[in-house]
Structure 1
């Protein structure tokens, strides 16, 4: 009967009646118990009666260290209810309760984060910052709890306080961004991405990133995906995997050709046609090219052509080997033209070498050879230009698939025809 009277006084915050009852029996506070193993301090805290809590703590401060059947201390209850004043009074009596865990394995800091009570979080961290580092089920941190329970304000507060804990993963290898993406919290994702404190490409134990989790859901997640991984400018080569494979093969072929031309140009420089003088005389020195004396004009053009071939091949190798922040298509076109220059220059160098070493060519010049090289190069470029124009027109008129199939058929017919002609020429008449 007296227990019910004390309960009513504590629930209604009737301090006068509560004091009268305690005056009649000073040990009443410790003897009275309620369902779920709760004492009078649990009841007053749950009801938010600050004055009653103060009176109970004056008489029996040890009640603050008792837990109910759910292993919840009075501080757990005060934090869950968001009562900062009661939490302060309990901490002043039993600060070690910051470490205590309830039946779910949560300490008061975890509970405050889940409920989003930032003011209480601040008070708890002032009292003892260490419990905030404690992990809960499956290695989740207090920040994971903020994300799971959609407490953005509490997350922002704790992120500013905890630093490296922001990048922590749970036992499944999932970061805060994984959880925010999984629960489709747009504002939470935006904050984590803009803060630049969480690695966007981090993978969980299943090898999935936050974007990968969203793509697997097959629902309206494009908005969140664009926040995590903003769409980049689409370059033309990325839209065609076959073209990308073609350019990759051309890259390898270009490297081989340019390496060969560079080797040829280097060899022609150190071992010029006609050799070098072996001894010093009044007109030359040992080691100088013989053709520099016998054919000075041709030698001058030969050195220029050889240098052009060597330098252009080195430039091409450098462009192909070293990645640049430009489009692969633009790089391919540029290196193609540089490769043509290198090939034309090495052809001129070859022609000059032939003029020097072949008999009865003393009166000839490189002009004819240069004209031939230019004519062949321009002819190839002209044919390629016409082909590209025809292909572009045909694709617009008939579609790319039809044209590609038709060209394949045409190539097969051309090879079959050439093969028949050659067989006819090589086969003797009966």
Structure 2
């Protein structure tokens, strides 16, 4: 029994020493200390074999992740099999190196085991796929040079490296991959599990540079249809409007793009019939020269109104919230107790009740000014919010200008409450300096308000002149005058 107990104690001590060595090995990997690694190998030549007994990160994974190339090279020299070890995510050291962009380590790993170019992680991605996602151009060049067939590897979702490069807007990575399959037009037009080519993805994500490259430097099928029967141009017309839409559509049409022929179709998916909504009939973004101006002006008008409505809603909501809070917590706070009699039982000289504003008792005039301005700001903000959510047909510029004027009033009133509160909470001995700063700030603020007011008055005058045709008439008279001068010459 004593012998068994001694053996168990020795085994336990050995396990503890092994755990300590493994911890030192991981610390050496984190620091990239080759000296510490060699010392550990002298103590236990089999330490690297024991380091690969689980699915956790090996010392090589750690070294690659932190970019310690010398340490990684020494590990591969001592135990080349570490290059094939996978961690719990299915990543090999080459996956990690490709993601981090460590070109030197990638070269060392490829020298040891070039077949790891085709190894897939749990998501079905190869090191090349991860390099394409991160845009590691130099890494991609190394991987393709060693294993050209790695370019044609697909993920679990049927995506190629080209799809991943476009999805993540990695133009440099896309160019490298396209050059590696330059003679294979079929692969350039490869479609993922949803039937989308790289052009579909680029158009859906409004990646203009990607689109230009695919249309000019590759033999991409511009009218290819995805699983729902949509071409790239269909996706553009069904997507949310963007400033780049006109240029993208121009590029597609120059390349011969067209919309899908059928207006509706049905597709079977999991034994259910899903009807594809027919394309919305929209005005073309590129029209004849005589017809383009009204459409563009209408679209700019709509975009302007939408942006202004969103901005007004955000500002009005913020001002209403702050004004409401200021009314509940005025400067100086509120009384925390009732005070009607003094300590002798006599009526108090300045009685007060709990919950009432301290400022209303100590400085009634300032309190009145504060609450009046705060109430104006609060009600003006609520008025704008009410108008925006009322559902009334207030989609004209003049109505939007009215709401903007209301917001100016709210902002001006709220600024006044700030100055009143600032003066109230400032001790009297430092108010002199505060008055100077406040005066300068107020002058600057009034100047800004004046500029905004004058600018909008000018805009309104110009709008009225255009509405009643005065400006147009003057322009016509000027053009006739110029023509007469030219004829006289």
Using the TM superposition, give the Cα deviation of residue 81 of structure 1 relative to its aligned residue in structure 2, in angstroms. Answer: 0.9
1:244 maps to which residue? none
Using the TM superposition, give the Cα deviation of residue 32 of structure 1 relative to its aligned residue in structure 2, in angstroms. Answer: 3.1
1:42 maps to which residue? 61
With the length of structure 2 as denominator, give the TM-score of the two structures. Answer: 0.46
Using the TM superposition, give the Cα deviation of residue 139 of structure 1 relative to its aligned residue in structure 2, in angstroms. Answer: 2.0
Using the TM superposition, give the Cα deviation of residue 123 of structure 1 relative to its aligned residue in structure 2, in angstroms. Answer: 0.9
The match for 1:134 among 153, 165, 187 is 153
SS at match of 1:77: helix
1:175 maps to which residue? 197
2:238 maps to which residue? 216
**Is residue 63 of structure 1 aligned with residue 82 of structure 2?**
yes
Q: Alpha carbon RMSD of aligned pairs, Å?
A: 2.3
1:186 maps to which residue? 208
2:444 maps to which residue? none
Q: What do the CA deviations read for 1:370-406 (whole angstroms, capped 9, x no partner)? A: xxxxxxxxxxxxxxxxxxxxxxxxxxxxxxxxxxxxx
**Is residue 228 of structure 1 aligned with residue 252 of structure 2?**
yes
Q: What do the CA deviations read for 1:342-388 (whole angstroms, capped 9, x no partner)? A: xxxxxxxxxxxxxxxxxxxxxxxxxxxxxxxxxxxxxxxxxxxxxxx
Which stretches in structure 2 are left out of the alignment for 5+ residues? 1-19, 255-284, 291-489
- For residues 218 and 197 of structure 2, the distance between their equivalents in structure 1, rounded to whole angstroms, comes to 13
- For residues 135 and 50 of structure 1, the distance between their equivalents in structure 2, rounded to whole angstroms, comes to 29
Using the TM superposition, give the Cα deviation of residue 137 of structure 1 relative to its aligned residue in structure 2, in angstroms. Answer: 3.3
Q: Quick check: 34-43 or 54-63, which moved more? A: 34-43
2:22 maps to which residue? 3
SS at match of 1:137: coil
- For residues 54 and 167 of structure 2, the distance between their equivalents in structure 1, rounded to whole angstroms, comes to 32
Using the TM superposition, give the Cα deviation of residue 151 of structure 1 relative to its aligned residue in structure 2, in angstroms. Answer: 0.7
Determine which structure has more spread, i.e. the larger CA radius of gyration: 1
- For residues 33 and 173 of structure 1, the distance between their equivalents in structure 2, rounded to whole angstroms, comes to 41
Q: What do the CA deviations read for 1:410-430 (whole angstroms, capped 9, x no partner)? A: xxxxxxxxxxxxxxxxxxxxx
Q: Is the 8 A contact 2:83 2:112 kept in 1?
A: yes
Using the TM superposition, give the Cα deviation of residue 45 of structure 1 relative to its aligned residue in structure 2, in angstroms. Answer: 1.4
**Is residue 115 of structure 1 aligned with residue 115 of structure 2?**
no
Using the TM superposition, give the Cα deviation of residue 91 of structure 1 relative to its aligned residue in structure 2, in angstroms. Answer: 1.1
Change (3 A) 1:35 1:150: farther
Q: What do the CA deviations read for 1:69-112 (whole angstroms, capped 9, x no partner)? A: 11111111111111011111111111111111001101111111
- For residues 233 and 7 of structure 1, the distance between their equivalents in structure 2, rounded to whole angstroms, comes to 66
Q: Is the 8 A contact 2:246 2:286 kept in 1?
A: no
- For residues 150 and 104 of structure 2, the distance between their equivalents in structure 1, rounded to whole angstroms, comes to 20
2:91 maps to which residue? 72
Using the TM superposition, give the Cα deviation of residue 124 of structure 1 relative to its aligned residue in structure 2, in angstroms. Answer: 0.9
Change (3 A) 1:5 1:218: closer
Using the TM superposition, give the Cα deviation of residue 196 of structure 1 relative to its aligned residue in structure 2, in angstroms. Answer: 4.9
Q: Is the 8 A contact 2:250 2:286 kept in 1?
A: no
- For residues 240 and 139 of structure 2, the distance between their equivalents in structure 1, rounded to whole angstroms, comes to 40
SS at match of 1:219: coil
2:327 maps to which residue? none
**What aligned pairs does 1:228-377 form with structure 2 within 5 A after superposition?**
228-230=252-254, 234=288
Change (3 A) 1:5 1:146: same
1:249 maps to which residue? none
Which stretches in structure 1 are left out of the alignment for 5+ residues? 237-430
SS at match of 2:157: helix
**Is residue 88 of structure 1 aligned with residue 112 of structure 2?**
no
1:150 maps to which residue? 169
Using the TM superposition, give the Cα deviation of residue 156 of structure 1 relative to its aligned residue in structure 2, in angstroms. Answer: 1.0
With the length of structure 1 as denominator, give the TM-score of the two structures. Answer: 0.52
1:103 maps to which residue? 122
- For residues 195 and 33 of structure 1, the distance between their equivalents in structure 2, rounded to whole angstroms, comes to 46
- For residues 218 and 55 of structure 2, the distance between their equivalents in structure 1, rounded to whole angstroms, comes to 46
More helix by share: 1
- For residues 135 and 13 of structure 1, the distance between their equivalents in structure 2, rounded to whole angstroms, comes to 34
